[in-house]
Amino acid sequence: MAGWMFVRNLKNGMDLTEIWHGKMAPNTDRKQTSFPHLKYPIYRDNDPKTAYQWLKGKHQLDGAEGLWRIHDSLYDLTDLISSHPGGSQWITITKGTDITEAFETHHLLGVAETLLPKYFVKNVDTPRNSPFTFKEDGFYKTLKSKIQKKYQELPKDLRRKSDLATDFLLFSLLVSSLASSYMWKADYVLGGIATVVTGYILSALTTAAHNYFHRADNWRMYLFNFSGMSYEDWRISHALSHHLHTNTVNDLELSMLEPFLQYMPAKDKPIWAQMASFYYPIIFAFATIGMFVIELFTAIINMDGKKLSWANAIQFFLPLWMWCFGGLSLSYTLLLWFTITVINSIFFMCFGLTAGHHSHHNFFDGDIPRDEYYDWGIHQLDTVSERVDETDNHFKSLTQVGKRAAGTPRCSTTPMDISNTRGTADALPAFEVVIGLLLFFNDIAIN
How many Å apart are CA 141 and CA 376, to the nearest integer? 9
**Burial zone of 249 (CB within 10 Å; 0-12 exposed, 13-18 middle, 19+ buried):** buried
Alpha carbon 444 to chain centroid, angstroms: 15
**Same structural domain for residues 334 and 373?**
yes
5 pLDDT band (50/70/90 cuts)?
Answer: very low
Supply the DSSP symbol for 239. Answer: I
The number of CA neighbours under 13 Å toward the Cβ of 81 is 11
Tens-digit pLDDT profile for residues 386-417:
766 656 777 777 777 665 443 333 333 233 33
Point out the domain boundary residue: 83, 109, 142. 142
**3-class state of residue 365 by DSSP:** strand
29 pLDDT band (50/70/90 cuts)?
Answer: confident
**Of residues 421 and 277, more confidently modeled:** 277
**Same structural domain for residues 309 and 375?**
yes
* Torsion sign (Cα): 53, 263, 293, 399: positive
Q: What pLDDT, on a 0 to 100 scale, did the predictor assign at position 13?
A: 44
Tens-digit pLDDT profile for residues 309-336:
999 999 999 999 999 999 999 999 999 9
C-alpha separations of 208 from 128, 227, 401, 405, 439 in Å: 34, 12, 8, 16, 17
Q: What pLDDT, on a 0 to 100 scale, did the predictor assign at position 2?
A: 45
Tens-digit pLDDT profile for residues 324-379:
999 999 999 999 999 999 999 999 999 888 877 888 889 999 999 999 999 999 99
Q: What angle do CA 140, 387, 446 make, to 5 degrees?
A: 45
**Same structural domain for residues 3 and 107?**
no
Beta bridge partners of 73: 70, 123
Q: Which residues lie closer than 8 Å to 332 by C-beta, 6 or more apart?
A: 184
User: Does position 190 have pLDDT exceeding 60, yes or no?
Assistant: yes
User: Does position 35 have pLDDT exceeding 80, yes or no?
Assistant: yes
Q: What pLDDT, on a 0 to 100 scale, did the predictor assign at position 223?
A: 98
Between the CA atoms of 361, 363, 368 and 373, what dihedral angle is there, to the nearest 10 degrees? Answer: 150
Q: What pLDDT, on a 0 to 100 scale, did the predictor assign at position 108?
A: 84
Q: What pLDDT, on a 0 to 100 scale, did the predictor assign at position 391?
A: 61
**3-class state of residue 34 by DSSP:** coil
| Greatest mean pLDDT among 89-103, 269-283, 350-364 | 89-103
**Burial zone of 12 (CB within 10 Å; 0-12 exposed, 13-18 middle, 19+ buried):** exposed
Look at 123-127, 336-340, 422-426 and tell me which has the smallest mean pLDDT.
Answer: 422-426
**Same structural domain for residues 351 and 370?**
yes
How many Å apart are CA 384 and CA 410, to the nearest integer? 10
How many Å apart are CA 223 and CA 311, to the nearest integer? 10
User: Does position 200 have pLDDT exceeding 80, yes or no?
Assistant: yes
**Same structural domain for residues 441 and 333?**
yes
Q: Which domain holds residue 225?
A: 1-22+143-447
CATH of the domain at 108: 3.10.120.10
**Same structural domain for residues 427 and 330?**
yes
**Same structural domain for residues 122 and 226?**
no
How many Å apart are CA 39 and CA 32, to the nearest integer? 6
**Same structural domain for residues 64 and 205?**
no
Q: What is the mean pLDDT of residues 173-183?
A: 96
Q: Please give the single-letter amino acid code of residue 354.
A: T
Q: What pLDDT, on a 0 to 100 scale, did the predictor assign at position 438?
A: 41
Percent of the chain with pLDDT over 70: 82
**Same structural domain for residues 130 and 262?**
no
Q: What pLDDT, on a 0 to 100 scale, did the predictor assign at position 159?
A: 86
The pTM score is 0.84
**Same structural domain for residues 134 and 15?**
no
Point out the domain boundary residue: 142, 160, 189. 142
User: Does position 28 have pLDDT exceeding 80, yes or no?
Assistant: no
Average pLDDT, the chain: 84
**Same structural domain for residues 303 and 368?**
yes
**Same structural domain for residues 231 and 288?**
yes
33 pLDDT band (50/70/90 cuts)?
Answer: very high
Q: Please give the single-letter amino acid code of residue 103.
A: F
Point out the domain boundary residue: 142, 175, 197. 142
Total domain count for the chain?
A: 2
Look at 22-31, 168-177, 178-187, 208-217 and tell me which has the smallest mean pLDDT.
Answer: 22-31
